[in-house]
Amino acid sequence: MADRSEAPVGIRLEAVSVRFRHAVAGDVDAVRSLNLTVEPGELLTLLGPSGCGKTTTLRMIAGFQAPSSGRVCIGERDVTNSMANARNIGFVFQNYALFPHLSVFENVAYGLRVRELPRQAITERVEEVLALVGLARYGRQLPHQLSGGEQQRVALARAIVIRPSVLLFDEPLSNLDAKLRVQMRLEIQRLQKRLGTTAVYVTHDQEEAMAISDRIVVMNRGEIVQQGSAETLYRRPTNQFVAQFIGRSNLLSARIVETAGDRIVLDIQGTRHAVRHRAASLAPGASVQLVVRPEAVTLVAAGQPGMLQGAVTAKIYLGDKIEYHVEVASREIEAVTYNAVARGSPEVGEHVGLRLPDDGLTVLPVEAP
């Protein structure tokens, strides 16, 4: 398996749209003129809330959903009009979709039998793949005799045994419990790297996406809102949606007082803060949104000048960290302190000052609601 000869291929979506006819809302665009390139050998994740069009996009690549317009290419081949069974894809379904009447062996062998491989080759490859996913001795079992994690492995084995051009994952871990999810996503990642097969992975779980992906594409309302590595998305979100969807963040309204080189001075509710920012388009007087991650906020004693002041409304001890909710001018700001001791730190009702760092904050233009 590991020594596959064919070079991995890329995927290209060119201006694809999917329009659904909705009984109440009229025509709805599930995917809107979307352009996307998946590099050969890459593991790309489509991330977004439910209804954002990520699954529809994946199903278009698979051939389960025809685009209303646009082109789908796998490698150099335009597959827009070819059916799912002619695309040589490996699809891992959210509910595994194992054939309940076939044994584990026959489930995995299905795609090979369709390809009319010799009996001997089928047996060899199925056994090889079952060993690869750690189910070497499960061949005779029926799907319903397996646990959720084992069913997931069978689904994985069934998808990779046919040596697909691309591997497609539709929220494959959402039916597993939390611990198994973490384990399986690691295994999926390792397997993908080992096979070198181009993969597209759909999830609504940002942590899963960050853990597994080479690149994350964040989608909302049928469009791509930002793409990049996990770190890029977390540290440099380009819009409010990504700022709030990836990790937790406080969005503070601010006004630009002055700009000087890579530094700008912001007015946040009457207090002034100098932050580093390189964008040139921001002029003094403009209203902006400041993205502040909870871990960037430091709680200090109340009353120090030049700082936001507030009262602690909730204090949640979570072991490795303490989470505070601080009310500042009638809105709530979240702050997180790591490795803190519960005793001695601010209590509910206490007045505190909030110190913001001058680096690592993101300034976003105000978006139309």
Partner 1 sequence: MSIAASPPRGAGRLSADPATLATLLVLAALLALFVVFPLVVLLWRTFVQDGQFTVAPVLAVLLQPHHRAAFVNSLWLATLVGVLGTLLGFLFAVTATRAGLSERAVRLLDAATLLSLVSPPFTTSISFLFSFGPRGLVTYHLLGLSGVSVYGLTSTLCAEVLTYFPLAYLTLRPMLASIDGSIEDAAFSLGASRWRMFRTVTMPLAIPGFANAFLLLFAASLADFATPLILAGNQFPVLPTEAYLQITGLFDMTGGAALSFVLLVPATAVYLLQRYWVGRRHFVTVTGKAGARSAIPRVSPAAKLSLVLACVAVASFMAFLYALLFYASIVVAFGANDALTLNHYHVIFTEGLKAIGDTLIIAGIGMPLGGLYGVLVGYLIGRGRFVGRQLLEVVSMINYALPGTIVGIAYLIAFNDPPIALTGTALIIIACYVFRYSPSGIRATVALLSQIDRSIEEASQSLGARSTTTFRRIMLPLLVPAFFAGLGVVFIRSMTAISATIFLVSVGWTLITVRILENMTELSLGPAAAFSVFVIVVVLAVLGAVNALLRRYRATVGGAAAGFTAA
Give the residues lining the site for partner 1 (CB under 8 A). 55, 59, 62-66, 83-86, 88-91, 93-101, 110-111, 114-115, 143-144, 148, 151, 158-159, 162, 168, 170, 174-175
> Distance between CA atoms of 364 and 360, rounded to whole angstroms?
13
Q: Which amino acid is residue 24, in one-letter code?
A: V
Our CB check for partner 1 shows the closer of 58 and 307 to be 58
**Which long-range CB contacts under 8 A does 133-137 form with residues at least 24 apart?**
133/157, 133/187, 133/191, 135/104
Q: Given the structure tokens 């991995």, which residue do they identify?
A: 8
Q: How far is the CB of 114 from partner 1 (least distance, A)?
A: 5
CA angle, corner 253, sides to 251 and 254, nearest 5?
125
> Distance between CA atoms of 1 and 171, rounded to whole angstroms?
24
Our CB check for partner 1 shows the closer of 188 and 210 to be 188
Our CB check for partner 1 shows the closer of 151 and 198 to be 151
> Distance between CA atoms of 239 and 223, rounded to whole angstroms?
13
Q: How far is the CB of 155 from partner 1 (least distance, A)?
A: 8
Q: How far is the CB of 331 from partner 1 (least distance, A)?
A: 37
Count of C-beta atoms within a 10 Å radius of residue 282: 16
Q: How far is the CB of 96 from partner 1 (least distance, A)?
A: 6
DSSP strands (E only) in 83-137 = 89-92
Q: How far is the CB of 97 from partner 1 (least distance, A)?
A: 4
> Distance between CA atoms of 267 and 244, rounded to whole angstroms?
22
Burial class (CB in 10 A: 0-12, 13-18, 19+), 211: middle
Our CB check for partner 1 shows the closer of 90 and 294 to be 90
Our CB check for partner 1 shows the closer of 93 and 282 to be 93
With residue 355 as reference, give the H or E element that holds it: strand 351-355
Q: How far is the CB of 89 from partner 1 (least distance, A)?
A: 6
Helices (H) and strands (E) in the chain — how many of each?
A: 8, 20
> Distance between CA atoms of 54 and 279, rounded to whole angstroms?
30
Indicate the SS3 state at residue 143. helix
Our CB check for partner 1 shows the closer of 159 and 209 to be 159
Q: How far is the CB of 84 from partner 1 (least distance, A)?
A: 4
Q: How far is the CB of 309 from partner 1 (least distance, A)?
A: 47
> Distance between CA atoms of 25 and 28, rounded to whole angstroms?
7
Our CB check for partner 1 shows the closer of 111 and 346 to be 111
> Distance between CA atoms of 367 and 369, rounded to whole angstroms?
6
Our CB check for partner 1 shows the closer of 72 and 210 to be 72
